[in-house]
Amino acid sequence: MTAPVWEEPLGPVGKAGKGITLFLVVAVILVPLYSIVLTSFSTQAAINEAGGLVTVPTELTVEAYRQIFTNQLVTHSLLVSLAITAVGTALSMVVTVLCAYGLSRHGSLGHRGILLFLVVTMFFSGGLIPTFLVVTSLGGYGEYWTMILPSAVSVFNILVMRGFFSGTAPELIDAARMDGAGEWRILWSVVLPTSRAVTAVITLFYAVGYWNSFFNALLYLPDNGKWPLQMILYTYTLQGSSMPGGGVTGTGQYAGHQQIAQLSLQMAVVTLTLIPIVVAYPFVQRHFTKGMLTGAIKG
């Protein structure tokens, strides 16, 4: 039997083409990151010489990072983002795991109705203005919980976990029941240990979502003292506003004998927002294929 085309071994031309393609894809990803990080360490003179983002290191300085970490607004926003990410991810995972497990047990009460209701919410929602009115009527305007509760659950993530939980070997669950285990014990000791891949992936999805969230802050947090780091990034980087307390204008300011560029400060904030994702991703990367494909196909 002839093997499919995609399973046939590559010839010299195919291997060369594959290597060039991978190199170009990696370059498209890494070169902008390299330029952003390098610009964050560059002086105003180096940025002026490069005409924008720096690609060749000339004059390097850490003044932008020193300016950021001595700015109380930025350091506080970093702590706010970390707290929102930690609390929000924990809450979302608890709700998602419990909901997905209940829906994966076909004999559970109201299984089909609840599943249909959740699927409908993926395509239809109340809209932005009704959501805003509901949150503000509950006293959420200006409160931290508005960064978590309005977007605490993703139906897509629930369905992926449900598909994975449905694939748990029935023999394991039946054996646990024969040993006297209840539903909580089965979930904790049988289902979750055999679903580490999808759990790691969904946890990362929630964590990245909370870490990158700024729109809820834009809607519900008028006080910049409560803003997360991404809101600082949006306001003082994308919109080009000067950072309060920084005293940095569009042309920069002098610190000692070096001039701090506004672009350098902006790229330093961007770099700080990238660090947690870059650090966390390698630890769950190996789970991505198994977690997402198996969870999406099963059930």
Structure confidence by residue, pLDDT tens digits, 57-108: 888 888 888 888 887 888 888 899 999 999 999 999 999 999 998 888 877 7
pLDDT tens-digit readout, 16-56: 888 899 999 999 989 999 999 999 888 888 888 888 888 88
d(CA 290, CA 160): 12
Confidence category of residue 247, pLDDT binned at 50, 70, 90: very low
pLDDT at residue 190 in the model: 86
Q: Which run of H or of E encompasses 259?
A: strand 258-260
Nearest-10 crossing angle of helices 262-284, 196-212: 170
Exposed, middle or buried: residue 137 (CB in 10 Å: 0-12, 13-18, 19+)?
A: exposed
Give percent of the chain with pLDDT exceeding 70. Answer: 84
User: What's the token pair of residue 27?
Assistant: 């370059």
pLDDT value, residue 38: 92
For the residues 160-184, what does the mean pLDDT come to?
83
Domain residue spans of the chain: 67-299
How is residue 189 annotated by DSSP?
I
> In terms of CATH architecture, what is 67-299?
Orthogonal Bundle (1.10)
Which amino acid, residue 238?
Answer: L
What's the average model confidence in pLDDT over 118-144?
A: 88
* Calpha distance 296→161 (Å, rounded): 8
pLDDT band at residue 255 using 50, 70 and 90 as cut-offs: very low
Instruction: Using a cut of 0.85, tell me whether the model's pTM lies above it.
Output: no
Is the pLDDT assigned to residue 174 strictly greater than 90?
A: no
Tokens read off for 218: 């834009």
Angle between the N-to-C axes of helices 111-123 and 72-104, in degrees from 0 to 180, rounded to the nearest 10 = 140
How far is residue 116 CA from its own chain's centroid? 27
Helix, strand or coil, per DSSP, at residue 42: strand
Question: What average pLDDT does the structure give for the chain?
Answer: 81
pLDDT at 298 over 80: no
CA distance 65 to 269: 8
Q: Cα 252–255–261 angle (5° rounding)?
A: 25
Residue 60 φ then ψ, to 5°: -110, 145
Question: Which pLDDT score is estimated for 84?
Answer: 94
CA triple 190-277-248, angle to 5 deg: 155
